[in-house]
Amino acid sequence: MEPIPLLTPYKMGQLNLAHRIVLAPLTRQRSYGNVPQPHAALYYSQRASAGGLLITEATGVSDTAQGYRDTPGVWTAEHVEAWKPIVDAVHAKGALIFCQIWHVGRVSTYEYQPGGAAPLSCTDKGVGPQMSYDGRLEEFAPPRRLKVEEIPAIVDDFRKAARNAIDAGFDGVEIHGANGYLIEQFLKDSANDRTDEYGGSIENRCRFALEVVDAVVKEVGGHRVGIRLSPFTDYMDCHDSDPHALALHMSTKLNNYNIIYLHMVELRMAIVDGRRVVPKRLLPYREAFKGTFMANGGYDREEGGKVVADGYTDLVSFGRSFLANPDLPKRFEIGAELNKYDRMTFYISDPVIGYTDYPFLD
């Protein structure tokens, strides 16, 4: 019997993975007061399998990085201590865990900013109202454009957060450069309207992202650093006039830093003649980047296995299906039916409901 491609082992730099199924970063909003909670240890350890890789929910690098209720941080000693038992619980299952570090930039309100200040961004253009998962219209505060001389301090926040994550026991960090947040605000020309060395050309718009990568790599080593990008999406009014050129530039330049992986968001599956079809736009970047390549984009067991077997990607990250199926690798192994996720409990504050109460096969 042929092995299932998603369940074949893979060597990622110095790390040995037993399979290719990765828990994608998923905001869960259950870190009360931005402090990771004990229930997160159960949540992550439920989804840990020997030799598997988990990526945490997006975790703030500073007090200006926040834009949502009860998302975790990693900028204080209290945060570091709170993360330690969570990491230990995952390691006890024989799994690996990376901390995704982020700054939301303009995707925030005065409520979440220190002293009720304006959110920080590369621009003073705001994000338009966004429809939330439960049908509410979310509105964001007008941002304040960062001065050139302020940018190194934000870069340093990422560096310090990466160090804190390693001190908490994480195996590495994933820099969040996707989904319309601060790094992507610099990357994409719909948001970045700067005329200085951080705006205009692709090289200039990528400067901030690569400065963050450089600082984090120098602090914790490229073997502990990944990055997530979403060149073809338009989350939070962030889109680019030439996403292919932007993605190719980033994929190529990242090789200079010897990071361990590039995690890229694929367009959602297209429906052709009643069948889901992978757009497969990521191949040029998979070929350009010399490290491990990870794809994300609503894959299922069959599609995920095919893109691994075809060499389109090394690893596949799963979000909503892993959220609802803590034993997803086992279910894929035996072809078991999957639990359905409940979108209405994605972001509630309850420490159990929609969080740790999804059933296992056994």
Asked if residue 118 has pLDDT above 90, the reply is yes
CATH architecture group of domain 5-345: Alpha-Beta Barrel (3.20)
Q: What integer pLDDT is reported at residue 235 of this predicted model?
A: 94
Compute φ and ψ for 65, nearest 5 degrees.
-85, -5
- What average pLDDT does the segment 313-332 reach? 98
Helix (H, G, I), strand (E, B) or coil at 15: strand
Q: What integer pLDDT is reported at residue 196 of this predicted model?
A: 98
Which tokens belong to 3?
Answer: 């092995």
Q: What integer pLDDT is reported at residue 268 of this predicted model?
A: 66
pLDDT digits (tens, 9 = 90+) for 274-316: 666 666 789 999 999 999 999 998 899 999 999 999 999 999 9
pLDDT digits (tens, 9 = 90+) for 184-243: 999 999 999 999 999 999 999 999 999 999 999 999 999 999 999 999 999 999 999 999
Asked if residue 1 has pLDDT above 60, the reply is no
Q: What integer pLDDT is reported at residue 280 of this predicted model?
A: 74
Helix (H, G, I), strand (E, B) or coil at 35: coil
For 25-67, give the DSSP string.
Answer: P-----SGGG---HHHHHHHHHT--TT-EEEPSPEESSTTS--
Report CA-CA distances (Å) from 102 to 42, 70, 176, 248: 23, 14, 5, 22
CA dihedral for 105, 109, 114, 120, sign (positive or negative): positive
Q: What integer pLDDT is reported at residue 136 of this predicted model?
A: 86
Q: What integer pLDDT is reported at residue 3 of this predicted model?
A: 77
pLDDT digits (tens, 9 = 90+) for 146-176: 999 999 999 999 999 999 999 999 999 999 9
Q: What integer pLDDT is reported at residue 132 of this predicted model?
A: 84
Number of neighbouring beta carbons within 10 Å of residue 171:
21
Virtual torsion, Cα 338, 235, 292, 6, nearest 10 deg: 10
Active site residues: 181
Q: Which residues pair with 52 in a beta bridge?
A: none
